[in-house]
Amino acid sequence: MEQALERALKRSEAEGNWRQRYHFTPPVSWMNDPNGLIYYKGLYHLFYQYNPKGCKWGSMHWGHAVSEDMIHWKDMPVALRPDQEYDCHPEGGCFSGSAVEKDGVLFLFYTATTQIDGVVRQTQCIATSKDGVNFEKYEGNPVIKEQPQGLSNDFRDPKVFEHNGRWYMVVGGCIGSATSDGDGRICLYESDDLYNWKYKGNVLESNGKLGTMMECPDMFELNGKWVVTCSPMNHPDYNKSLYCVGTMDFENCIYTIEKVGNMDVGFDYYAPQSFTDKDGNRILVAWQNGWLWMPWCTDWGPTSQENWRGCLSVPRKVQLDSENNLCMYPVKEVESLVSQTVTYTDVEIGEKAIKLYDDPNRSNRILFKLDITKIESRNLEICVLGKESGYTAIQIDFLSKIITLDKSHGDHYEGGRMNCPFELHDGCLELCILVDHSSVELYVNHGERCITTNVYPEENQTECWIRTPYKKAVVDYVQIDFLDSSWEMQ
Ligand code: FRU
C-alpha cells in the first residue's frame, strides 16, 4: 500500500491547469489503453497501460485503480510490471488485455511483448489474483505462444469472455505489415479452462477495407446481436474505433456483418474496452487520445508539463437503437458528481452572445433541448471553455443537419474541426456536453452520435455562451450541472 500512497501524494502535487477533474488520469506519467475492466468482489477494477518512468510511451506496466461506482477512483499499486524474459523490453512490456473471474479468482490476460534478436515477439499470458491487489504471473506463460499461421508478429490485446459455458478470446492480428500495407484480422480462440486455447478462425478480416491491423478487439452480445469492436490502424476513412453489428456462429467461427459504424467521430477515442456493470449493463471505456499515425494527431498535448499524460473517457452505457446503430451515453453514476443545477426554458438568443455560465472549476455538463419550430436561424453556436477569442465551438447547421465540433480557437495547441450528420426526432435535437479541464465530449440525441476531443485551454477559459450568426432562435430547455471532482485523495 505504501507505493499507492506515494503515488496518490504525487497526484495531488501534480494538479494543474489541464489535470482532468472527473475523467480518469494516471497519478503521474504516461497512460494509454484501459485494460482488464471488471466488477470483481464488490468493486470496479480498472487497469491501464502505464509507463511509470515518464510522460512518454514505453516499458508497459498495468496501472490499477478501484471504484465503487466507476466514477470515484482510488489508486492501487501497479498490478503488472515487465519482469519476465517473455515480457521484458524497454519497447515492450505488459501490453493491453482483459479480465474475467472464475471461481472467485481474478484472471488477467495480457500480451507479453519482447524482442528476440531485434524481432518483436507478442504472446498471450495470464496473471491471477485472489484479492484483487496482488497478482501472480502464471508459471506456464505464455498460454498462446504463437500467432496463427500466416499472420505477422503483430498479435495482441486478448479480450476474454464467456458464452454458453465456454471461454472465448479475441486477439488482434494482421497479415503483412501493420504499419504499411497489411490486412487486419480478429482471431478467435476457445477454451474450457482458461489455460488451454484452441484457434477457431477469424471473426473479422479487413480485406483491404477496415485497416492494416485490428488493435484492441472486443466482442459482446446485445439484444440478440453480436457486436464486434476494434481500433484499426490505417483505416482508409481515418476512423479510429469501429463497431460491427451482426450474428455469430461460434461453432464454425462465422461472423455475418449487418452493419459497420464509427463509435465516436471525434479526435480522441481509441482502444475502447467493454465490461458489464453490477446490474448487467454493457459499459465502454476508451483511451481519450490517439496515435501519431492518425492523420490529425500531432502529439499528446502539453500536459507532460504537469507530469501526467493521457486520460480515459467517462464510462458509457452501450445500447443498440431500433435500427441496430450503436449508441453510447454517460453512465447514470455521473449524477453523483452533480453539485448544483441551473435550468432555463425558452431562452431567446440572437447575434449577441448570451453567457450561460462562468465556471471557474471548468467541470460541468450541459443538456440542451432544441425544437426546430422555434429556430429561425440556420445555425446555432455553443461555445465552451471560452474567454473572448479563445473557445471550443459546437456549431449546429439545421439546414444541412451537420453538427461540427471546432477547436481551432480552443487552445494554442492542435486545432481542427470534426463534422457529423444528425437527425431530428419529432422536430427536436437533444445535446449533452461534458466539459472538463482538458476535454469536451458531445453526445447527440442521447448518444446516437458521439464526438470526443481533448483541448488545452488557458486557465481563464471558463465561460460558456450561445449565439446565432443572424436571425433569432429560442432554445427550449437548457440544464447546466456543475460537477465535483471524482478524486478521493487517499
Ligand atoms: C493500442 C495499443 C495496443 C497495445 C498497447 C501498447 O493503443 O497499441 O495494441 O497493446 O497500445 O501500449
> Helix (H, G, I), strand (E, B), or coil: what is residue 205?
strand
Distance 7 CA to ligand 1 centre (A): 23
Q: Is 192 an active-site residue?
A: no
Average pLDDT over residues 289-298: 87
Is pLDDT at 155 greater than 90 in this prediction?
A: yes
The residue from 33, 87, 183, 264 that is catalytic is: 33
In testing the pocket of ligand 1, which one of 57, 95, 125, 230 has its CB within 8 Å of the most ligand atoms?
A: 95
Q: Which long-range contacts (CB under 8 A, 24 or more apart) does 251-257 make?
A: 252/201, 253/188, 253/200, 253/201, 253/202, 253/203, 254/201, 255/203, 255/204, 255/226, 255/228, 257/204
Whether pLDDT at 8 is above 70: no
CA distance to 16, 63, 310, per residue, from 45 (Å):
26, 11, 18
Question: Residue 6 — pLDDT band, cuts 50, 70, 90?
Answer: low
Task: Cell numbers for 189, please give them.
Answer: 480462440
| pLDDT > 80? residue 9 | no
Which range is most confident: 3-12, 157-166, 349-358, 407-416?
A: 157-166
In the reported structure, the alpha carbon of residue 57 is separated from the centroid of ligand 1 by a whole-number distance in angstroms of: 10
pLDDT at 415: 82
Residue 354 and residue 386 in contact, taking contact as beta carbons nearer than 8 Å:
no
Protein residues with CB under 6 Å of any ligand 1 atom: 32-33, 49, 60, 95-96, 111, 156-157, 215-216, 270-271
How far does the centroid of ligand 1 lie from the alpha carbon of residue 215, in Å?
7
Share of the chain above pLDDT 90, in %: 90
Mean pLDDT of 176-200: 96
pTM: 0.96
CB atoms within 10 A of CB 391: 25
Specify the higher pLDDT residue, 352 or 204: 204
Chain segment 348-377, per-residue pLDDT in tens: 998 889 999 999 999 999 999 999 999 999
Confidence category of residue 315, pLDDT binned at 50, 70, 90: very high
Mean residue pLDDT across the chain: 94
What pLDDT, on the 0 to 100 scale, is given for residue 455? 96
Question: Which atom, in ligand 1's list, is nearest to the CA of 95?
Answer: 10
Q: What one-character DSSP code corresponds to residue 489?
A: P
Task: Express as a percent the part of the chain with pLDDT over 70.
Answer: 97
- Using the predicted structure, report yes or no on whether residue 55 has a pLDDT greater than 90: yes
Residue 1 reports pLDDT greater than 60: no
How far is residue 65's CA from residue 48's CA, in Å, rounded to a whole number?
9
Beta strand 29-40 with 308-309: parallel, antiparallel or unpaired?
A: parallel
